[in-house]
Amino acid sequence: MAGPEHECRQGRKCDDRIRDAAGEWHGAGVERPDTLCQYCEKRAFDALGQLWDDYKSLEAAIVEPRGRVDGPKIRKTADRKIPIPLDVDSLMMAIDDETLRWAIRVTKGDPLPGTPRDRVRQCVRILRSSTGTLVDLPRRRVAAWMPYPDGGDYDGLLELDGVDAVLRLADLHRRAQSTLGLTESKTERLNDPCHVCGLALLMMDISESIIKCRGCWNCWSEEEFARLNNPMAAA
């Protein structure tokens, strides 16, 4: 019986990825092209569902900054305002913008609260209850902030579908967890020997897709490592 014809949209970043005989990583098999495997989809839906809690935690970090957000605790005084950490403020706005963008498309324009806090809560509630509709949304051009190569952003257009939506929302959860200092480093040991020192001491940081050797302490991106260790690519 033939296997699945297509692979998970996440490709090498798929949570359930597989490795072929040539050492190349591939996304898990899926029935429909350009979709997520069940494992990646569930992980993304779970992350999306935590965005309201993330927003509240970021909100609290502004009132009472601590940890990775700003370092030492700062006490409030009656005559001096605490400066808002810019990374926290911009991330809260990004959560508001992105959840609003997709809630509008899912509900086809139902009215939503006017204040950011209430709007995020309602949008996340809508998206959590409509994940099937969300992930199946067709591709469409949407406005989005695009980075300049030398820094800064400009208002551009992207073509995004429902799979892009859940991945972008899940990424906001990961960013929030990182900003709040709640992300644990996840590593995976590789069986291959290092092509530099020959020792089987390779570890991959899954969140960053960085491969490091604990023998010679060299490191590579996942793409560079695959190229250097693929005889066909080197030929």
Same domain, 66 and 141: yes
Note whether residue 51 is domain-resident.
Answer: yes
Same domain, 17 and 115: no
Contacts of 139 by beta carbon, 8 Å cutoff, 6+ apart: 159, 160, 161
Same domain, 134 and 227: no
Note whether residue 1 is domain-resident.
Answer: no
Same domain, 47 and 146: yes
Same domain, 148 and 78: yes
With b meaning 16 or more CB within 10 Å and e meaning fewer, what string describes 76-95?
A: eeeeeeeeebebbeebbebb
Name the residue range of residue 156's domain: 40-179
Note whether residue 160 is domain-resident.
Answer: yes
Same domain, 158 and 224: no
Note whether residue 230 is domain-resident.
Answer: yes
Note whether residue 27 is domain-resident.
Answer: yes
Same domain, 26 and 104: no
Same domain, 27 and 127: no
Same domain, 70 and 104: yes
Q: What is the 3-state secondary structure (H, E, C) of the chain?
A: CCCCCEECCCHHHCCCCEECCCCCEECCEECCCCCCCHHHHHHHHHHHHCHHHHHHHHHHHHHCCCHHHCCCCCCCECCECCCCCHHHHHHHHHHHHHHHHHHHHHHCCCCCCCCHHHHHHHHHHHHHCCHHHHHCCCCEEEEEEEECCCCCEEEEEEEECHHHHHHHHHHHHHHHHHHCCCCCCCEEECCCCCCCCCCCCEEEECCCCEEEECCCCCEEEHHHHHHHCCHHHHC
Same domain, 153 and 47: yes
Same domain, 158 and 199: no
CA distance 88 to 8: 32
Note whether residue 106 is domain-resident.
Answer: yes
Residue by residue, pLDDT tens for the chain (235 residues) are 344 578 999 988 888 888 888 878 888 999 999 999 999 999 999 999 999 999 999 999 887 654 444 443 434 444 434 445 668 888 999 999 999 999 999 999 899 999 999 999 999 999 999 999 999 999 999 887 766 666 666 778 889 999 999 999 999 999 998 888 886 556 678 888 888 888 888 888 766 567 878 777 677 777 777 777 765 444 4
Residues composing the chain: 235
Number of folded domains that form the chain = 3
**205: domain CATH number?**
2.20.25
Same domain, 52 and 167: yes
